[in-house]
Structure 1
Amino acid sequence: MRKATLWSGRLAVLSTVLLLSACARPEAPGTIRDPYESRNRQIHEANKSLDRGVFRPVSTAYGKSVPRPVRTGVSNFASNLSLPGAMINSLLQFRPGDAVQNGTRFLINTTVGLGGIFDPATRMGATKVDTDFGETLYVWGMREGAYVEFPVLGPMTERAMVGRAVDFAMNPLRPLANSEERNVMTGTGVLRGADARYENSDLVDSVLYESADSYAQSRQIYLDSRRHKLSRNQETDYFDPYEDPYEDPNAQ
């Protein structure tokens, strides 16, 4: 009964999103809609303080104290858990080939790769097709919406925000996991984020602490990176300086 209620709630969320996307109109590329800039800047400063006081020192301690092979195994495990959700999104985007590729990767890494700790699938040619429900909404024609910076989560667009919420609600593995398993899923996701912060520390620090206007630069980098990803690399004149440091490890 509990699982049936969960799935009915998720279907209601999906139906609402479908209605919103059906009413959406495309918007001009290259624009920046930031009607909440004043509030966003306040949150950005709070996020910088949180990064300076918590995220950066924790990620540094994790990166320096845990050997890279162990960190890679944890990140691989967390990434593997995101594949079923990516498969669903690929199907919703009418990209069955991507769904098959991610499904093949999940099968190989879950079995041969010992639950995803190791990544033999990449060596076998089954690389990950990284996608999320935000991209599904993009494919369906939903507008990007305004730029918003959230506490802890960092930069997003309104479309990405809806996509992240749906990804969490529709994660097919969560209803099958008990409370301890869900804690493991969350914990490994957090560690994956800490590892990403550590590996990109120089680039992230240069944006947050060395730029003249870290808010404007973070906003531009996020929007350029996100739009480039959604375009599936069709924009040949774009250079992505680094992977999005604010990317939610559990949203993939």
Structure 2
Amino acid sequence: MFREFSRTLTMLTFGALALAGCASSPDDREAGSASGDNVRAVSSDAPEEDVVDPWEPWNREVYAFNEAIDDWVLRPVAEGYQWVMPDFADRGVTNFFDNLGEVNNFINSVLQLKGEHAVVAAGRFTYNTVFGIGGLFDVATAFDLPERQEDFGQTLGYWGVGSGPYLVLPLLGPSTPRDFTGTLTDSLVFPSVQDYMESPEKWYLLGLFIVDTRADLLSAEAFISGDSYTFVRNAYLQRREYLINDGAPGSDPFTGGDDEELMLDDF
């Protein structure tokens, strides 16, 4: 559930999705730096925009509303949090919540029949919980067990469910009908560690998670270029396509013959 709130509540900011769009296909990475940390933001003049974003007038209104809330509430709180938190403590909090997200990664890996991903998720949760002091340290990566994010929106995409048009939801941010259905399923149907916690502690934990996630994304705002709404939309849709295809090149609704590409090296 915590990861799903990350992908919804915190994504009411354009910085969140700027970071979310940092992954590109293998061919894109070969065209950039050897590290593979390039981001590709496609020109806003792409010819297929009307197909993927038929509700753009509504979406822009909601986007502006969400951005105003972020400007007045979430960003100032996140900046204060980042100012008072030492780097090692900030990293530990992020690792802790990432570790909780491995439960969701495991469930959706099983539903997608990805045995290796399921084993990795289970291994990461075990190693980080036992040897990483409850997940505060990411020791699993040192054991060559990198995180492989999976959610029910990806599961639906894996089994051929179309994404539907791009949609911006009040407070919940960028999504699609398929991803919103996946978010609700992950949050309300699948069991998670925090479901067994008593109130109000779990709500305190959720608040900490949202603020920590937003604080970690402050630096990503520098990579926004051009119209922020268009940048966020393209980054979100490309990122989701990347995740569903496990990094393999997939269809890109914004790629046209004459489109310009912006490569952001060393993100």
TM-score range, shorter chain: 0.7 to 0.9
Indicate if the aligned counterparts of 2:104 and 2:186 stay in contact, CA closer than 8 A: yes
Structure-1-length-normalised TM-score:
0.74
Indicate if the aligned counterparts of 2:78 and 2:212 stay in contact, CA closer than 8 A: no
Q: Is 2:222 the partner of 1:202?
A: yes
Rounded Cα–Cα distance in structure 1 between residues aligned with 2:81 and 2:220: 13
Indicate if the aligned counterparts of 2:105 and 2:149 stay in contact, CA closer than 8 A: yes
Residues 1:218 and 1:140: Cα distance change in structure 2 (over 3 Å):
same
Rounded Cα–Cα distance in structure 2 between residues aligned with 1:184 and 1:112: 25
Indicate if the aligned counterparts of 2:92 and 2:136 stay in contact, CA closer than 8 A: yes
Indicate if the aligned counterparts of 1:86 and 1:132 stay in contact, CA closer than 8 A: yes
The percentage of counterpart residues that share the same residue type is: 31
Q: 1:132 aligns with which of 147, 151, 157?
A: 151
Give the SS at the match of 1:110.
helix
Residues 1:185 and 1:82: Cα distance change in structure 2 (over 3 Å):
farther
Q: 1:151 aligns with which of 160, 170, 183?
A: 170
Rounded Cα–Cα distance in structure 2 between residues aligned with 1:193 and 1:240: 25
State the shift of 1:161 in Å: 0.5
Partner of 1:18: none
Residues 1:241 and 1:196: Cα distance change in structure 2 (over 3 Å):
farther
Partner of 1:222: 236
State the shift of 1:239 in Å: 7.9
Q: 2:106 aligns with which of 82, 87, 99?
A: 87
State the shift of 1:157 in Å: 1.1
Q: Partner amino acid for 1:37?
A: E
State the shift of 1:163 in Å: 0.5
1:136-170 alpha-carbon deviations (Å, 9 max, x no partner): 00111111111111122211111111101101011
Q: Partner amino acid for 2:59?
A: N
Q: Partner amino acid for 2:199?
A: S
What is the correspondence of 1:1-252 to structure 2 with a 5 Å cutoff? 32-169=51-188, 170-203=190-223, 206-207=224-225, 211=226, 213-235=227-249
C-alpha RMSD of the superposition: 2.4
Q: Partner amino acid for 1:193?
A: T
Q: Partner amino acid for 1:191?
A: V
Give the structure with the higher percent helix: 1
Rounded Cα–Cα distance in structure 1 between residues aligned with 2:219 and 2:135: 20
Structure-2-length-normalised TM-score:
0.70
Residues 1:66 and 1:114: Cα distance change in structure 2 (over 3 Å):
same
Partner of 1:16: none
Tell me the matched-pair count.
207
Residues 1:228 and 1:49: Cα distance change in structure 2 (over 3 Å):
same
Q: Partner amino acid for 2:196?
A: L
Is 30-39 or 227-236 further displaced after alignment?
30-39
Partner of 2:256: none
State the shift of 1:184 in Å: 4.6
1:13-43 alpha-carbon deviations (Å, 9 max, x no partner): xxxxxxxxxxxxxxxxx77422322211100
Indicate if the aligned counterparts of 2:132 and 2:139 stay in contact, CA closer than 8 A: yes
Which protein, 1 or 2, shows the higher relative CO under an 8 Å CA cutoff with sep ≥ 6? 2
Q: Partner amino acid for 1:224?
A: Q
Give the SS at the match of 2:217.
helix
Indicate if the aligned counterparts of 1:138 and 1:230 stay in contact, CA closer than 8 A: yes
State the shift of 1:181 in Å: 4.6
